[in-house]
Structure 1
Amino acid sequence: MQQKRIIIAIDGHSSCGKSTMAKDLAKEIGYIYVDTGAMYRAVTLYSIQNKMWQGSALDEEALRCAMPNIKVGFKYYPEEGRSHTLLNGQDVEKEIRTMEVSGKVSPIATIPFVREAMVAQQQSFGLDKGIVMDGRDVGTTVFPNAELKIFVTADPKVRAQRRLDEIRAKGDSTTTFEEVLKNLNERDYIDSHREISPLRQAEDALVLDNSHMSIPEQKAWLIDRFNSIVK
């Protein structure tokens, strides 16, 4: 008998490794992976590239007018075993991970017309099920009826160190731990207090605190939960 296909929603705080675990899980079970955070980062990158910022002030009207022209997608690279984010057909995976984008993505993600456009794109990805999607509001707003919901969290200092390690691995030796921790705490506050789709744990979500878990331990935990639903 063919195994039923489901939607897996993984939400949680930034730098918890949600994307890594979601990618690994999708690869393991043969599902499509969708990184919703990368989608908002792509919109943020578009706003930066098109000079919509004056200091910390965003020209929202300019972004509103541009939204119909912003298409975010994903391309899978077999040789890497992962997907890259595409902005209007261009691979922007490296560009969306900079600190400049990190510092502006939370304000962008609070804008109702941005969220409406991205949620519509995200929901279109799930029409055939068989997807793993991670973000801030996947289990509460995008797919409230997802069969498996995971809420991931970890100690802020542990998360900041993980994010700094990522930045260092990409050749940035100037960003400090304190800068990353400050940015992470600011993003947590904005994400949790925004009016539109705030970050919160869905009532039926399973909590995964991975502060002291290895990646193999997380993977085993997720596979176990997945199997308990599809079998």
Structure 2
Amino acid sequence: IDGPAGAGKSTVAHQVAAKLKLVYLDTGAMYRAITWLVLQHGIKVDDECAIAELVSHYCIELTPSEDPLYSLTIMINGNNLNEEIRSVEVTSNVSAVASHKSVRQALVKQQQTWGQKGGLVAEGRDIGTHVFPDAEVKIFLNASIEERARRRQQDFQRQGEPEVSLEKLEKQIAERDWKDSNREVSPLQKANNAIEINTDGLTVSQVTAIIIQKYQHLISEL
């Protein structure tokens, strides 16, 4: 499941995985965890060499979460980072960190290792085009910038983050869309054989039901 920031990928992917009894892989959380590390160590987000060295010393763990707010628990060296990686600061910098070739290579290798086991629902921005190009089912979720900004504002409110205006969030999302779509390494693109779903005005349950229907139809034809 691919798509731009705020399209609803994480929440939907988690529900789809749960209903189909498959493993859920949140690749975006992995990039957020690295971004949190970079900020914690005071490293500039454009210093790829320093970031690559930092990444080599840490291991990211993803485990099922018992907290209803989070589908997965993100751990680095035994520390739970579920709340930290979804802060305004991390959200503002994750695209810059994720654009570095060395970071993507390290995390994609780990993601593909998990994928070799099969039975996986993965979400991100380059899953169907780069991480798992041979996936049997590819979905591309999209939504208007206005809708995605509203969702992001609600996320921040639930996390107790400082109030951010919709106008500022819309600007940040537009900037991130541009960065994600124009980066040299694995840009955000819809795979040629992906099914696109616009989630404007749809609930998570409705989007989940659409994807499961598409999945069952495609799998029946294999």
Same amino acid, percent of matched pairs: 36
What is residue 32 of structure 1 aligned with on the other side? 23
Q: Which residue of 2 aligns with 1:63?
A: 51
- Corresponding residue number in structure 2 for 1:110: 99
Give distance in 1, aligned partners of 2:73 and 2:97. 21
Which residue identity does 2:27 align to in structure 1? T
Structure 1 residues 210-230: Cα deviation after superposition (integer angstroms, max 9, x where no partner): 112122211210110121133
Task: Give me the whole-angstrom Cα distance separating, in 2, the residues matched to 1:87 and 1:65.
Answer: 16
TM-superposed CA distance for 1:88, in Å, is 2.8
CA distance in 2 between counterparts of 1:79 and 1:47 reads 26
Counterpart of 1:6 in structure 2 is none
Unaligned segments of structure 1, at least 5 residues: 1-9
Partner residue of 2:197? Answer: 208
Q: Does 2:133 correspond to 1:149? A: no
Match of 2:112 among 120, 123, 141: 123
Q: CA RMSD in A?
A: 1.4
Q: Which structure 1 residue ranges, 4+ long, deviate > 6 Å from structure 2?
A: none
- Could you tell me which amino acid in structure 2 is paired with residue 22 of structure 1? A
State the one-letter code of the partner of 1:35: D
CA distance in structure 2 between the partners assigned to 1:159 and 1:175 by the alignment: 13
Q: Which structure has more strand as a fraction of its residues? A: 1
Report the counterpart of residue 43 of structure 2 in structure 1: 52
Q: What letter corresponds to residue 49 of structure 1 in structure 2? A: Q
Counterparts of 2:162 and 2:40, CA distance in 1: 24
Between Structure 1 and Structure 2, how many residues are aligned? 219
TM-score (norm 1): 0.90
Residues in 2 aligned to 1:123 and 1:89: alpha-carbon distance in whole angstroms: 23
Paired letter, 2:10: S
In 2, Cα distance between equivalents of 1:167 and 1:190:
22
CA shift at 1:82, angstroms?
2.3
The DSSP-based 3-state class of the residue aligned with 1:148 is: coil
What is the rounded CA distance, in whole Å, between the counterparts of 1:168 and 1:203 in structure 2?
Answer: 36
* 1:1-231 alignment runs, 5 A limit: 10-53=1-44, 58-78=46-66, 80=68, 82-231=71-220
Which residue pairs with 1:7 in the alignment? Answer: none
* Offset from partner CA, 1:129-168 (integer Å, 9 cap, x none): 0010000000000000000000110110011001101111
CA contact (8 A) 2:126 2:186 kept: yes
Q: Which moved more, 1:76-85 or 1:201-210?
A: 76-85
8 Å CA contact 2:75, 2:81 repeated in 1: yes
